[in-house]
Amino acid sequence: MLVFWKEKLVILAVPKTGTTALAQALGPRADIVINDPPELKHAPVFRYNRFFRPMFEKACGVDSMDIMAVMRDPVDWLGSWYRYRRRPFTKGTPASTHDVSFDDFVTEYCKEERRAFANVGSQAKFLEPRPNGTRVTHLFRYEDQDAILSFLDERLSDVPELTRANASPQMDLTLSPDVRALLQKTHAAEFALYVSLG
């Protein structure tokens, strides 16, 4: 999470959406940078609303901050998690996908009770607005880097060039039609939110 106080902007770090690259580029000029622990670095809207918003309001006298976040295509997002969990340091751990196909990974993700390797959360849940009105005010598709950079440049001015960081190894990942249909059925909210950003 990055906080730019004068600009009244908070950037939430949705996992697997390029936020490490954003933090590396913009961290030096942010007023608050949260890199650890992961539960705070990757604070979703509900956690921001519970802990950070009251601090900004009560301690600093600010009633609202703009919140920016990035969302990735649901299948690509799962592909990034799958590839990340195939890195050498995961081998032999319950979170490893070394001996699991991408179809099996996504099938497991579609279950209510998931095994550890497929327990990666939900972008829609991360971004879910709160009953008190706290919500992401600027939500971008990960694939639309031009729009992201244009917004940041307008809001923060002179944004440095972003370089890839914490990228998972590349591999060709294709879902079978049946598994894709299962994912779209069981996680319809993910696809609906992503499509709405069109």
Q: What is the mean pLDDT of the chain?
A: 92
Instruction: State the CATH architecture for 2-196.
Output: 3-Layer(aba) Sandwich (3.40)
CA-nearest of 26, 58, 55, 38 to 158 is: 26
170 vs 109: which has the higher pLDDT: 109
pLDDT given at position 169 = 64
The answer, as to whether pTM is greater than 0.85, is yes
Residue 116 CB coordination number (10 Å): 12
Q: pLDDT band at residue 165, thresholds of 50, 70 and 90? A: low
pLDDT, mean of residues 135-142 = 97
36 vs 169: which has the higher pLDDT: 36
Q: What's the CA gap between 185 and 168, in Å, rounded?
A: 27
Give the Å distances, CA to CA, from 86 to 55, 81, 82, 118.
38, 9, 7, 12
* Share of residues in the chain with pLDDT > 90 (%): 76
Both tokens of residue 134?
A: 């706290």
Contacts of residue 104, defined as CB under 8 A and 6 or more positions apart, other chains included, come to none
pLDDT tens for each residue of 35-46: 989 889 999 999
Q: To which H or E segment does residue 78 belong? A: helix 74-84
CA-nearest of 39, 11, 18 to 168 is: 18
Placement of tokens 């950037």 in the chain: 11
pLDDT tens for each residue of 49-100: 999 999 888 877 777 899 999 999 999 999 999 999 999 989 999 999 999 9
Residue 44 CB coordination number (10 Å): 22
pLDDT given at position 31 = 92
Residue 173 has pLDDT above 70, yes or no: yes
